[in-house]
Amino acid sequence: MKLLHVVGARPNFVKASAVFRALASYPHIEQLLIHTGQHRGPDMSDVFFEQLALPEPEINLQASSTSQALQTAEIMQRFEPVLSDQRPDWVVVYGDVTSTMAAALVCAKLGVRVAHVEAGLRSFDRTMPEEINRVVTDQLSDLLFTPSEDGDRNLAREGIDPKKIHFVGNVMIDTLVRMLPLAGDHMPANVPKRYAVITLHRPSNVDDTNWMKEMLANLDEISTELPIIFPMHPRTCDRVRAAGITLPKGVRFSQALPYLDFLALLQKAAVVITDSGGIQEETTFLNVPCLTVRENTERPVTVEYGTNQIVGRSFQRLRDETLKILAGNVKQGHCPPRWDGQSSKRIAALLTR
């Protein structure tokens, strides 16, 4: 059996690492890694392959990061001849980024079977590009591996054949479990004993210049109560720079961090403020308080079971909830079902069956 794993962005690398390792124990499986180039460079791509021990991609499509439409078209155009040449039995796609949907579309046109890892998640907000990617990919996929039971319910509601749906758990947690013992050696220098971590990258947040100015001002105010560390996604850096926003001196900014360095920060944080879906999951497993700066989440299981709270884009609520956590009023959580570090093994067994 021949499988192609299509990855393009940082969350894909983390998920694919687990599935690739699980399938490596099957001698009759040939695996090839295809990188679309959606995230590129030392900080956003190379260091993840190095730390996660992922093999070098067999092919890098080097698609440019321009508009959503152009990026989708470019990935499809460059992936189609690769698919025709390689003739795989399965293509495995991950998550909800542009690369995921683009690869699934090409496979559907050429009649190649698609397995979607992290299927069924829904925010029910079609203004999010990721939501469009999720819905389209799930409709085109032949196997759908869900990380939580709400994913199964969402897919059933959309008319997906139940025989295609498999609740396997969260593969991102597989990688976290494997890498967590190594994270302690990667803590960034001069980190205070107690601190908050913040990440922002969603267009609905960082593309809103007025909101970003006020958000940074509020973070500056919060930093008088608790030091804040803000590793900035390149997209966020670009938007802040283009808008001419002055960075507050009370917040410690850095470039985007490698996986192990960020994991080290995450597990010791007093609170995490984010708009990232993956970080909602990781903080749930680590039992670290998480405040999600969005009006919704495609991972409601992190609110139901975990430590995550949705605070919307309200600065007042963000400050109030942060102060509650600092005062010891911390939401207690536990892990959702099958977030046990074995999800990739379940996927491997189903694919090989």
pTM to 2 decimal places: 0.96
Q: Span 208-226, mean pLDDT?
A: 96
> Is position 261 within any domain?
no
Number of structural domains (the chain) is 2
Structure tokens at 198: 């913040």
How many angstroms separate the most distant Cα atoms in the chain? 60
Residues 158-203 pLDDT 10s:
999 999 999 999 999 999 999 999 999 999 999 999 999 999 999 9
Q: Which of 47-51, 89-93, 146-150 has the lowest mean pLDDT?
A: 47-51
Residues 92-118 pLDDT 10s:
999 999 999 999 999 999 999 999 999
Q: Span 344-350, mean pLDDT?
A: 98
Report the chain's terminal Cα–Cα distance, integer Å: 11
Same domain? For 200 and 159 the reply is no
Same domain? For 143 and 198 the reply is no
Is residue 201 among the annotated active site residues? yes
Same domain? For 210 and 99 the reply is no
Strand partners, 231: 254
Same domain? For 171 and 234 the reply is no
Same domain? For 7 and 43 the reply is yes
> Is position 135 within any domain?
yes
Q: Supply the pLDDT for residue 43.
A: 77
Whether residue 13 is predicted with pLDDT greater than 80 in this model: the reply is: yes
219: domain range?
Answer: 189-256+269-326
Same domain? For 221 and 273 the reply is yes
Burial class (CB in 10 A: 0-12, 13-18, 19+), 106: buried
Q: Cα torsion for 277, 282, 288, 294, to the nearest 10°?
A: 0
CB burial of 39-59 (b: ≥16 within 10 Å; e: otherwise) equals bbeebbbebbbebbebeebeb
Catalytic-labelled residue, pool 28, 201, 233, 334: 201
